[in-house]
Structure 1
């Protein structure tokens, strides 16, 4: 009766969730996710019952799971009692609901699937023996002892190839991929990862999995797809695999597809799985050609890209540290996994491979049976800046194919190489990339082109795009709160591309400096001009920034990455009269003091400056006059000193400033009044400044302001009445301003306002009646607790759309605090 009890308990939990969804609106998002999971997994427990009946077996394994379901029911009932004002309990219990959902999925994906697979094997054990014998007979009849080549030149088979005898790290992905593939509503699954990550191996494991074979039987077809696929040849191989000695002649690709569809339809109710291995970007139409409306027919695609337009994508992750070491030791020391090479040295080599199975395989084979001194020499070369690709042409060749696919997209390829300008293991702000690419490649200012390029790189698994806020993709800035991460080996590949030309001919000069160990050839090169357009210098805690100088007269983009508490700007800044973009980032624990800050005054053509995690000295000198400056970004900076005793008017220092970002600056208590005189300012973003209490009354002087973000300024208690003077303001974001108690009575004067974000403004109890005159207002983005405030005014605002977003408990903003 264990399974009947299990089914009843699942039903009880589902009923409790459905009822709680109606009452506990604070947990609606989490409860909806939990309901979806329960509905999805419930039918599979019926399959367990069927298998148990066939085996006359009892299930004791599910007892612990029944207890977990009962605990879950109690948790759901408890959530119904949490009040909306109790923020801390809401966060805690949302977390508990998320954990419950994850544990259900985990149990289903691993334990339940394992139970079903085990029982299926027991049932099919006799059948499998007969199938194997029959397969051998059919193979001899079809191909002969030595194989066969048909007269039309088609050779080979669509049988699932064998898998390596030693595999690590793919057991969990196999179970997760099966769950995704076996969903009734899914017809195509794309298995995606960079080259050399094990996609094909995982696809082979799936095709040879006992549970999958029990479902699809002999109807699993494995087809390799080339960069320039030939549909007619692919279809002929499928016919050949089914034992057709007289292969049909196809008049065209369409004819081949049509005949294949008719052939597969003749299989009646048999389920069919087609694996298309190594599909290249741009071949989405080929997959569409093989999609047939046949019940039980599914396609699994492996690709280095996340192909768009299909049901589901499974992104295969790299190996974790333990699995990477296990694989490497097996390949480097095949006898028993042990050797005389010290463990710390082995671990250093493994770390340099970054979890890439291909890299681990290639490097392990290159060091197999080598003396310890060769191992140490390899690590030493890597630490001195020599690329892993210099001595591993096979690895380079395999990964290079991903870049070759970008030949028809030269700007996207250049953008990929630019990612190597930032330190490894760090998030790269999309807004910083936008600043670079607007000047380098003439991309648009709103960030759409930048985001499109990043999505393309992410889809091709050359980078990972991270969104830290669900409602951040507003029309005016597509890069707002978007970040990019990149695997170390892919970053090294980007740097390798930059370094292939002689140093004096490179368009980028990317230097990682440890201590004062300058890159090879440094001393010889600093005495002559370098013609690069982009210069990136990354240093560590022990670097002395006063010990180098360069001649870089043509550099337009300068990126300085460091980790020290005290950083001296390089002297060569005073000779960089072509510099347009300056990005200075401190990745240390505390804001860094910048020495020789006045050198910035020499950058007469500077258009954009981004300072992150630094302490900015006073701006009280005219030496910092930057007449061409268009944008300044201050991220996690100490800025109080910058505006103290400032005798110079900011409009005189930065007369053409149009865009200002102030993010996570914890010592910003009040916006300096002098900023209100920057009359050309069009965009002002003040976000996550939790100590900001007020805006100056002179704020209304910013008459050209079009975009104002005040997101997560949690202590901001009101907005000045003068804000009504901002008649060009079209976008206002005051979301998560928790203490904002009222809006200006002159809201009706914001005649250009089209979009208003006010999610999380829990202090607002009413809106001024003047909002009924905001005739241009089209979108209000809010939550359930603030949506009701607009009900009295909706009849006056006929074009207004109230967008109620689910609660978004998201701590991804913590990315700003560098480790």
Structure 2
């Protein structure tokens, strides 16, 4: 069946799209053993023989090269002569040859474009890499650096960069003929690689190695005896264990490593990491035009605006620029218009786009275990190129995937290390060990989200585990409405719209959904009516990306959600809390960010019973601009372990009964600029391990009762400008291990430490730090 499908794709390929035809021909050739008779009668003899002969010739040339009967330049010249017969356009042949090599169609044969035969050289294929090449040269040529690790997400052009570097004149002048390029890959034969390294570096008959360990030991001994500048490029390394068996020391010996996972590269003083960035707009356009038009600029006959719109959807990723540009090469402008619309909706524009881009990137997902893979696919719930609180993602993993918070956080770090998402922080919080990621944000590249969307949508729509809207639309997708009378199996549903009124929602049956992410940009929004029937819902996330806070209606629908565990609201006008006290009493976690309407909370002090939150574990309020005072009843959270009130600039005081939070382990009262004092009852927080009062500029003193916090291990009190003196009672903080503060308060802590033989305290002095990164939503 696979062979039949490939043949149909080949038959449907335009005669002007030679590369696509050849590409499918290569794939068919790989199945020759199974479908040889079928091919013989269905595929034109000239094309079939052309493909077959080219592969056979490449294999023969590779063998001659490895046996030493042909040098590299002669092999490349012979390869080019064969490829030059593919079309009548030498420039197009050069493009085809390079792309065939990049797509691994030659089974490891060394393929380069001989610059003396066409007007295109390595520099033409390495568009936009000049700055990166210069940075890598500078790193490699430092005497103290022996290993340079180039890391970045799949498709960034790490291999192209490494190849360009190996052909750089300055590098060749230093290392002469001692530049060795080795593709390691995901499942390498280390013994064979080490044997190859011996032959190319030592250049004499190698011993018969019994195993990898012996090969590594003997090669290391040899390298210590011979001192000559040598550069070994280890491309596409997936495992640190494999890499460590391929690293060596020697006078003048250097290693360049390319990898998708930065944790692969060991951290040593002689190691320098280089994160390969995305291309800027100018270089991205040049590379896109190179593959789409065979030149580095937009042709005068082209629709400039449309070209730039399509190119912009590649978001500076070289592989996307190459694949999408190649897919549109020679196509009429209606095809370009269609491609633009599909890209905006996260769809593939052709089979080559899906296979050339998604299949390449999907190898990054294949190395993840099943749990981490599922977590990656959940990233499709959130929009690309936006900073999203890590807490929102972890809520899904904890409550839907049933992963412990610490394990979920480890998975988050793994995905980040593999460049499958980006992590950023305002660097103020050290609280992540206590289960809060409030100061951490993640974002994802468009292409990585498109991959998650593609992988998550391979089942029939009503059978998918995840149902995502990839882009904002004015209403629900028409495909969804076709199945509105059928129950969906999706565990996670993500809906991205504009303003939604009550009558705009159709009746959908998401009976299995455990997480609902509602994304919109509007000033008014009505919650979907089907929400009340989502009986298994545990996680509700409502994000408004408009410039103004939105008024949300339909909140009474939440009262029927008996399983709801966590709710996260962002940039909304929050209604009076007492109206929804029934819902609040069942929640374990509430997070409110950039919300208004909380200024009315102080009016509830006379009716504490309405605000009892008996099962609340985690309570978060951030940038709630009109919050002035918290009601007494809000501290009736006997189970709460984490409490975070941050960036609420009008907050003047904390409740006097704060000490009722008897289970609290983490307390963050950060950047509350109007806060003047802490309540004396804070001393009753007997289980508190971490406290953050940073950036509370009006805080003048700490209460004596703070010395009663016998389990307090970490205290962040940086940038408390008016806090001049510590209370004597802090000497009783015997568990305190780490204090972060400014220099004046730090001197007091250090004196206290010097007088206390039992205090094992690290005092970290920090300078004032001002940032508006939180505005970059």
Q: Tell me which interval the TM-score lies in, with the shorter structure as reference length.
A: 0.7 to 0.9
Aligned counterpart, 1:315: 275
Which deviates more from structure 2 when the two are superposed, residues 698-707 or residues 479-488? 698-707
Aligned counterpart, 1:290: 246
* Residue 478 of structure 1: how far off its partner (Å): 5.5
Aligned counterpart, 1:453: 411
1:329 aligned onto 2:289: yes
* Residue 245 of structure 1: how far off its partner (Å): 6.8
Matches within 5 A, 1:94-173: 163=122, 165-173=124-132
Aligned counterpart, 1:128: none
Cα shift readout 1:444-496 (whole Å, capped 9, x = no counterpart): 23xx3233112211221211111221542442125241111110011111011
* Residue 653 of structure 1: how far off its partner (Å): 5.3
CA distance in 1, matches of 2:466, 2:651: 40
Report the CA distance shift for 1:427/1:374 in structure 2 as closer, same or farther (over 3 A). same
Which deviates more from structure 2 when the two are superposed, residues 289-298 or residues 537-546? 537-546
1:758 aligned onto 2:717: yes
> Which residue of 481, 505, 513 corresponds with 1:555?
513
1:258 aligned onto 2:217: yes
Cα shift readout 1:633-682 (whole Å, capped 9, x = no counterpart): 11111132552654764566532112100111111111222212333322
* Residue 543 of structure 1: how far off its partner (Å): 8.4
Aligned counterpart, 1:218: 177
CA distance in 2, matches of 1:327, 1:544: 47
Aligned counterpart, 1:189: 148
* Residue 566 of structure 1: how far off its partner (Å): 0.9
Cα shift readout 1:21-79 (whole Å, capped 9, x = no counterpart): xxxxxxxxxxxxxxxxxxxxxxxxxxxxxxxxxxxxxxxxxxxxxxxxxxxxxxxxxxx
Aligned counterpart, 2:570: 612
> Any gaps of 5 or more consecutive residues in structure 1?
1-135, 148-153
CA distance in 2, matches of 1:534, 1:522: 15
The answer to whether the 8 A contact 2:519-2:542 is kept is yes
Matches within 5 A, 1:532-611: 532-540=490-498, 546-611=504-569
> SS state of the match for residue 548, structure 1?
coil
Report the CA distance shift for 1:775/1:473 in structure 2 as closer, same or farther (over 3 A). closer
Aligned counterpart, 1:304: 260
The answer to whether the 8 A contact 2:113-2:122 is kept is no
> SS state of the match for residue 525, structure 2?
strand
The answer to whether the 8 A contact 2:602-2:629 is kept is no
Cα shift readout 1:149-207 (whole Å, capped 9, x = no counterpart): xxxxx997899998363432111111112222233332211111222221111112222
Matches within 5 A, 1:611-630: 611-621=569-579, 624-630=582-588
> SS state of the match for residue 697, structure 1?
coil
CA distance in 2, matches of 1:724, 1:364: 64
The two structures have a TM-score, normalised by structure 1, of 0.76
* Residue 510 of structure 1: how far off its partner (Å): 0.6
Aligned counterpart, 1:359: 320
CA distance in 2, matches of 1:648, 1:579: 30
The answer to whether the 8 A contact 1:451-1:478 is kept is no
1:799 aligned onto 2:759: yes
> SS state of the match for residue 462, structure 2?
helix
CA distance in 2, matches of 1:199, 1:562: 37
CA distance in 1, matches of 2:280, 2:204: 47
* Residue 222 of structure 1: how far off its partner (Å): 1.1
> SS state of the match for residue 516, structure 1?
coil
1:350 aligned onto 2:308: no
> Which residue of 424, 428, 437 corresponds with 2:384?
424
Length, aligned pairs only? 669
The answer to whether the 8 A contact 1:593-1:615 is kept is yes
CA distance in 2, matches of 1:596, 1:715: 34
Matches within 5 A, 1:375-774: 375-384=336-345, 386-388=347-349, 392=353, 393-406=355-368, 409-445=369-405, 448-477=406-435, 479-512=437-470, 514-516=472-474, 518-540=476-498, 546-621=504-579, 624-640=582-598, 643=601, 645-646=603-604, 649=608, 654-774=613-733
> SS state of the match for residue 274, structure 2?
strand
Aligned counterpart, 1:368: 329
> SS state of the match for residue 277, structure 1?
strand
The two structures have a TM-score, normalised by structure 2, of 0.80
CA distance in 2, matches of 1:390, 1:509: 23
Which deviates more from structure 2 when the two are superposed, residues 702-711 or residues 410-419? 702-711
Report the CA distance shift for 1:197/1:155 in structure 2 as closer, same or farther (over 3 A). closer
Q: Considering only aligned residues, what root-mean-square deviation do their CA atoms show, in Å?
A: 2.9
CA distance in 2, matches of 1:802, 1:635: 33
